[in-house]
Amino acid sequence: MLEESGAAGQGGAHQAVAVVGETEDGMEEEDQDIHVRQQRGEMLFAVAEVVFEVIVSAVSAANESWSGLASVDTAAV
């Protein structure tokens, strides 16, 4: 009887270790997921910055061309 309860007690200890091991694996996977999402966010932010700069340049160029047209129109009058 004692051996059975000793074996049962040891089985419980092994089960606790297995649960901790599974939790650590889950934590590592979650850390990796967070890292991947962070990298994606950084890439998307970089793309958004580039798009913003392109739009600013386009608007600036359009304003310059409109300014040039306005000065030509007033000079002709």
Residues 40, 50: Cα–Cα separation, whole Å:
15
Q: How far is CA 45 from the centre of its chain?
A: 9
Indicate whether this model's pTM tops 0.85: no
- Report how far residue 35's alpha carbon sits from residue 51's, in angstroms, rounded to the nearest whole number: 24
Question: Over the stretch 7-21, which tens digit does the pLDDT of each residue have?
Answer: 555 555 555 555 555
Task: State both tokens at 76.
Answer: 């002709």
Mind listing the pLDDT tens digit for each residue in 22-70? Answer: 667 778 888 999 999 999 999 999 999 999 999 999 999 998 888 766 5
